[in-house]
Amino acid sequence: MDHTIQTSFLIISDTHGDEKVAEKLLHLDRDVDVAIHCGDLTEGANMSEFRSALQLLKGIKAHLKIVIAGNHDWTMDNLTFDRKIREYVDRETKHGEFTQGDQDLLDKSFGARGEAKCLFESAEAKAAGIIFLDEGTHHFTLANGANLQVYASPYTCSREADWGYQYTPSEEHEWSIPAGIDIAITHSPPRGVLDLIDKERRNGDLRAGSPSLFAAIAHSKPKVHCFGHIHESWGSKMVTWRDDVPEGQPLTHFNAIDNGAPKDDNNNMSLRQLQDEGKQYPPTCNLSLQSQQVGRQTLFVNAALEELEKCQPQPAFIVDIPLAKANIFTASAAKMAQTKPEAAQRESETTQPKKRKLESVEQEETSHSHIKRTCWC
């Protein structure tokens, strides 16, 4: 007896408010069960861009639409918001008086503190099936009766760490990805997989992925790890994990991947391959994990849609994944764990944008805890 349900996923990232990307996504010829956006909804974190991104997500034909932020969506990160707004005010004040007109322009462009995130947690968004995820593990019971477990994180590594959800190489980041999840959704790529950058952007390094993220994925071995951020490494790659890595040795793409395993050409695509095939990209690339060895293989997907030259959008991925059927008893228990006071608090936070605070960033809570939330839709 088959205890799985075939579930279709539209996986996208880095739409950056691009009108050509939006046009393509709104005219896909296939509905899906779940859409996943891996961050960078905007180019400059402008409120008008966030509103356009919300309209785009509302127009995508899917029962559930999971969204995380990216580094370009910096107004969703309160620490970065406070710092950048304070820097702007200080800079303008040095060059003259900071007027109410300047403040009004700031408010119009970037909104109040928390307003951008609030937009994606509003009743309007929820009615369209849009769920914005903070970092952590999240559980869903889907409309088709399948159970979905995901890990989400918007964080990326950067030498400058000047944009949203970024940390420096010296800080690194803890990725608490549990074993047995279905999909890991991050904005950052892992080190060594679909993270190669162009010569013009290398600065002495060929890869932009996170070593600690790769190690966490290699430990967890999810069915799918989807991300974006590095546009020129768009593509997919099915990886088979080695089981003979010496104990205590750090997991890297050199020692954790079984490069001698048979290749699955249907689940391995690259931007170079598409460019060699012709000038016009297909609207979607369709993949299936029906024959995947769960626990031994992971499909990596770099789903960045906006091409660097902005000539044409790169294809979106549609991936069919067998998911476990939801257990009615487990679902009921998990649903009860979401208490009314917590739900009421979240509703209050999402319906009332916080006023801008220009005081010291140190007053903000500096610990980004790994939030575990049960979401049902």
**pLDDT tens per residue, range 127-171:** 999 999 999 999 999 999 999 999 999 999 998 899 999 999 988
Position of tokens 């309209």?
Answer: 55
Q: Which residues of 316-332 are buried (b: 16+ CB within 10 A; e: fewer)?
A: bbbbebbbeebeeeebe
User: Order of strands across the sheet with 147-153?
Assistant: 269-270, 235-240, 297-302, 224-227, 183-186, 147-153, 136-141, 371-374
Q: Output phi, psi for 208, to 5 deg.
A: -115, 5
Determine the Cα–Cα distance for residues 65 and 317; give it in Å rounded to an integer: 14
Q: What is the pLDDT of residues 242-288, one digit of tens each?
A: 988 888 889 999 999 999 998 888 899 998 888 887 667 888 999 99
Predicted confidence at residue 347, as pLDDT, reads 42
The amino acid sitting at 234 is: W
- Give the domain extent around 24: 4-374
Q: What is the CA radius of gyration of the chain?
A: 21
For the chain, the average pLDDT equals: 86
Distance CA 225, CA 86 (A): 36
The reported pLDDT for the residue numbered 332 is: 43
Q: Number of folded domains in the chain?
A: 1
Between vectors from CA 66 to CA 257 and to CA 267, what angle results, nearest 5°? Answer: 35
Residue holding tokens 């205890």? 3
Length of the chain: 377
pLDDT at position 263, please? Answer: 85
Which CATH number characterizes residue 67's domain?
3.60.21.10
Question: Would you give the DSSP letter of residue 355?
Answer: P
Written as one string, the DSSP assignment of 167-202 is E-TTT-------TT-SEEEESSPBTTSS-B--GGG-
Residues of the chain short of pLDDT 50, as ranges, are 329, 331-377
Both ends of the chain: CA-CA distance in Å?
Answer: 27
